[in-house]
Structure 1
Amino acid sequence: MPTAGLCLLCRQASDGRVCRPCQGALDALAIGPDHCMQCALPLGQSGRVCGRCLSKRPAFDSAHIPYRYEFPLDYLIARYKFHGCRGSGALLGQLFGRWLSQQQLPHPPELILATPLHWRRLLKRGFNQAETLARAASRATGVAHGRRRLFKHRHTSDQHGLPRKERLANIRGAFSAERVRGLHIALVDDVLTTGTTAREISQCLRKAGASSVQIWALARTPEDGH
């Protein structure tokens, strides 16, 4: 846990979790309107849909993501996700909640669900970072945060570094959902990379009767590369 009064990033004196210059570095990662209208991939032009979403439309309806997955945000996510830094986790939840509270979503969801971990990974890590963000999202929006609706019932290899085809095979059939018939759902995760997991879970939720699914993530990789 960071020493009180020091910035989580530069370790200089700060009256908050991060100092003003480091907050400015985080703010500079904000994704503007120039992104894919379906999956939020930064494109450099607004009002477009990326090639992947055009060739195979995902089961989710839209993605709402505030930041690019670059330094220093990737550092904070890694510190929380892999090293259990609670200060970093609290800051990530604060950033996410603050952004969501400022959004005027055209189709607000009725239920927030976190991308689940298999029990083995949850036991090893001790927490689910997506649950932390889902709770922050619920507090910011007033939308209910659901539990025991979405499950990962098959342990899979880490998706990081796998080629796209192997990602698809690795995650296929790993999730199940129940009691979501007729609901409009926001699925929360920390990072959206290729969207493989989000697509698989969205299909699962659709099969379980969800009326719509939108993705809420904290960060989006600038290039849809792995």
Structure 2
Amino acid sequence: MRQYIEKILSFFWPEVCPFCQKACKKGICDTCRKRLESIRIKEPRCMRCGKQIRSMEKEYCYDCLHTHHYYDRGISLWLHREPVNQSIYQFKYHNQRRYGTIYAQEILYWYKDVIVSWHPDVIMPVPLHFRRKRKRGYNQARILAELIGTGTGIAVDSRHLIRRKYTNPQKILGHRQRKKNLKNAFAVKKDFVPVKTVLLIDDIYTTGSTIDAAAYVLKQRGVVNVYFLTISIGQGY
């Protein structure tokens, strides 16, 4: 019965490439695969945010040299450019939850060993405020976190880190405004039992303000190491 239902669903909603929306049974079409390879983050990387840098002699990007971060280190898969930016927009705002499966598969292909080497005790998705989640219907970071948790065998904690402040969308703000916007935005529930290492999952890293704000409250509650992983990373500020 399940197979029959899946065949009917695939007829009305065929599998499509999440980057060009053309029918594609293998996930990512060949054309988009080539485009994605050109914007995949490669070495040399910033030793803090994971952004690609030009020189092997440098350890940190310009942003990280001029900003104090509360997180320890992070990585992202692609630059936040076409066709990734529009794909994430659909994933985030237009109920394309199935795109998360493709993103997770790519992340695990390239970064599973890195994730495991960080020895995270739990994976935590960056939470949405309940008003925004109610409007959207889901948290895209949680979808991604649960898929990565399944692929690595690492427990996912989507309950203890909460967003207690309803904030303006970060994308409309400058660097300083982003930090101010996120001040006291996150909290950790009282029954949280501190662990040594947490891996935060989100969709996009721009200036790091969101990850920093979440990392700060976790470390205030006894977490020693906070790493992050995102689908894409912007150009900074």
Map 1:1-226 to 2 at 5 A.
3-4=13-14, 6-46=16-56, 47-103=58-114, 105-178=116-189, 179-221=192-234, 223-225=235-237
Alpha-carbon distance change, 38 to 176 in structure 1, aligned in 2, over 3 angstroms: same
SS at structure 2 position matched to 1:67: strand
> Do 2:44 and 2:54's aligned partners in 1 also have CA atoms closer than 8 Å?
yes
Root mean square deviation, CA, Å: 2.1
Structure index of larger Rg: 2
CA distance in 1, matches of 2:95, 2:180: 29
The amino acid of 1:72's aligned partner reads P
Is the contact between residue 30 and residue 68 of structure 1 (CA under 8 Å) also seen in structure 2?
Answer: yes
Q: 1:78 to 1:103 in 2, by over 3 A?
A: same
Please give the secondary structure, in 1, of the residue aligned with 2:200: strand
1:60–1:202: 8 Å Cα contact kept in structure 2?
yes
Structure 2 length normalisation: TM-score?
A: 0.86
Deviations 1:142-187 (A, max 9, x none): 1110121100011111111211111111110010014242421001
**Gap change, CA 1:5 and 1:136, over 3 Å in 2:** closer
Which secondary structure does the structure 1 equivalent of 2:199 belong to? Answer: strand
Unaligned stretches of 5+ in structure 2? 1-9
1:218 counterpart SS class: strand
Q: Per the alignment, do residues 115 and 34 of structure 1 end up closer, same or farther by CA in structure 2, a change over 3 Å counting?
A: same
Aligned-partner Cα distance in 2 for 1:5–1:170: 38
**For residues 85 and 12 of structure 1, do their structure 2 counterparts lie closer, same or farther at Cα, with a shift above 3 Å needed?**
closer
User: Is the CA contact (8 Å cut-off) linking 2:49 and 2:64 kept in structure 1?
Assistant: yes
Give the deviation of 1:193 after TM superposition.
0.2
Residue identity in the other structure for 1:224: G
Q: How many residues align?
A: 224
Q: Distance in 2 between matches of 1:126 and 1:180?
A: 28
